[in-house]
Chain A
């Protein structure tokens, strides 16, 4: 029996894989989605409403099992006793680093990928970001500008639903927003203080998040239960499982195959095109092959690059589509963890109700209107202000009936600014295959070489200064700057390992996420990024994916692929 040839194969089912599946199938392509991990059944796997008293360790997590199975995953603050099943087993998924240069690779392998646990913050890039490399002579220029991606931001936002407040800022373009979420009393006070003390320079707005504040395209509005990263039975935040994959499946043209660990791409030397992929069945360990006319890699920045590095041929001895030698290089992640906390006095008769799955945002202000002498690019602040709860009691003096009565009431308003900074592309931050180590499916593990450089360190330090300034301007008490020492990777915004560019000599992908060397091969996850900006990247990955699908199908129709 001849091997079935799909119109398209999509590797990965997360943020970008879901979009590729939806777009390609809606355009009529018979599409196979290969997902390395297990299927997820929302009815049984989503656990956002499971009460804390039903968890054995009351939310503290099974510490010994974490230490044994998830020593790396548990470093992510989003991993908890409920949702740890959505993060990989580190023993099955090894990687190596240089001894003195840790990298924390936080992963989900299941249908839906990390879109189930993601932070949902959704911001547009601007030309301040797309032009930065060219302006400063760093790395290479982006082959696209804001006008190329703007209609695709519109398209994606309209489908997923993004709550936010339009502000008219050139460095943070407005989107098609659902109604904004409300600021708390402390946030309103800090917002006013920033506006008074830093006019025309700094400002604060409510976070822009892929959470529905009203019913949207058949999905229910958020009910403010809080822990989105454990799932959402009302499908009120965007994940591929909640949104794009159901749309893809509604076409009747999509096959999602879980437990399909992609080993490598099959390259046809005669056509110089990708013919399909080699797969290890995750359960049986059987070696399989799947054939398709076009191939979309949407497996995450590191996994997609790993697949290509593991697909060497005589034509491409250093990895498929790597004539430039840039595959695996220019790895970036946002530098996070400079900021400050403080207590906001007053507002004691007021409170916030519900568990808002969103925070505040202070858009980038460094190097926006005027050049800063000590650092390149900039950062944004997330965080927020809320009243402390009973947990403050462990650090307070007292016990007994009065203490109990006090702890059942809301405590002081505490405010946190937490910075996320742009990471410069650097060729020396790179990944390669580790010839000594393989994962549980026999696929070579990655060796990751990555560290923060001078500019990231300068941004982190500057965050502590400006966050403290803003809290002081708001009259905060006990203002405490902090500067965390977070290894790269922990922000979970890894990107850059198969960058876009105009010139095949110094980039892997062209302006449409198409490999320069293999024209029916597309990479649309974080690997494609030529620089990192300072905003959360997922919305941009989605827009680039939808745009690349449109281009690919158009090219197919023209007989170009």
Chain B
């Protein structure tokens, strides 16, 4: 586990702000992609709506696209269909059901029928429960997906972040990353980086 982290460190991430396309063309591209969305293989329409809503609450649209715009829900459907083992998939889907149980219990309706404020309240309680069982060492863990993490909200948050930051918009627009860096240096002021 630690070696993965060590190796990841050797290829440390550095954010390099060069916008390769303007916001308008990105919006158009995202819009086209949404229109061509393929059928989901595991999530039913209700589950998909719930996953989409939670992912957008975790990484919302700001001055850059959010999780919904880059179709994190489709990435999560792929993981559920082709990557997770059966028990992991069952745990994730049971976690989705539990989100509805919680929202019906508190607000009398399914999660997707709740107001955004109510949805944030549900997610906050899930997030606090996760914080309660988190170990200090967790911050040192490997960068790759840790399949042993069993909590639904951990899985959901992790998949949302992976799906978002490895999308083209997440990589280029949000992280300002480049495949081939415009420069390299060991230790420079952050301003120098931001000025590029």
List the interface of chain A (C-beta within 8 A of B).
49, 51-53, 56-60, 62-64, 77-78, 181-185, 187-188, 223-227, 336-337, 339, 341, 347, 349-359, 382-401, 403-405, 407-410, 414-416, 418, 478, 480, 482, 484, 486
Contacts and interface: CB of A to CB of B under 8 A. Distances in A.
21 contacts: A56-B78, A62-B83, A182-B187, A188-B187, A337-B3, A339-B2, A349-B189, A351-B15, A352-B188, A353-B16, A353-B183, A354-B14, A358-B10, A383-B9, A386-B9, A389-B143, A393-B157, A404-B60, A408-B15, A416-B2, A418-B2
Interface stretch (B35-43, B101-109, B159-167): B159-167
A187 B127 CA distance: 34
B11 A357 contact: yes
A384 B9 contact: yes
Contacts of B184: 182, 224, 352-356
A397 B12 contact: no
A487 to B, nearest CB: 13
A394 B190 CA distance: 24
A392 to B, nearest CB: 6
A481 B147 CA distance: 23
B55 to A, nearest CB: 10
A382 B140 contact: no
**Which residue, B120, B154, B179, has most C-beta atoms of chain A within 10 A?**
B179
A182 B137 CA distance: 29
B195 to A, nearest CB: 12
Nearest to A486: B3
A63 B83 contact: yes
Given A408-B15, A480-B137, 14 more contacts: A57-B78, A57-B79, A60-B144, A181-B186, A184-B12, A224-B184, A357-B10, A357-B11, A398-B127, A399-B58, A400-B60, A409-B15, A415-B9, A482-B1
B145 interface: yes
B174 interface: yes
Contacts of A404: 59-60, 62, 66, 174
B187 A399 contact: no
A225 B181 contact: yes
Interface in B106-146: 120, 123, 127-128, 130-131, 134, 136-141, 143-145
B158 A394 contact: yes
A183 B9 contact: no
Contacts of A408: 15, 174-175
A68 to B, nearest CB: 13
B19 interface: no
B5 A60 contact: no
Nearest 8 pairs between A and B by C-beta?
A354-B184, A182-B186, A386-B12, A389-B13, A185-B187, A354-B181, A224-B184, A394-B158
Report the interface size class on chain B: 35 or more
B83 A359 contact: no
Contacts of A183: 186-187
A391 B128 contact: no
A390 B83 CA distance: 22
Contacts of B58: 399-400, 403
B7 interface: yes
B128 A397 contact: yes
Contacts of B191: 349
B188 A353 contact: yes
A385 B82 CA distance: 35
B57 interface: yes
Contact of B75 (A58, A184, A398, A415): A58
A193 to B, nearest CB: 15
A484 B171 contact: no
B15 to A, nearest CB: 7
A356 B186 contact: yes
B174 A341 contact: no
A484 B1 contact: yes
Nearest to A76: B3
Between B3, B13, B59, B184, the greatest number of chain A beta carbons within 10 A of the residue's beta carbon is seen for B3
A350 B162 CA distance: 25
Given A351-B14, A405-B62, A51 B83 contact: no
A355 B161 contact: no
Contacts of A396: 139
Nearest to B66: A404
B10 A407 contact: no
A64 B186 contact: no
Contacts of B5: 341, 414, 416
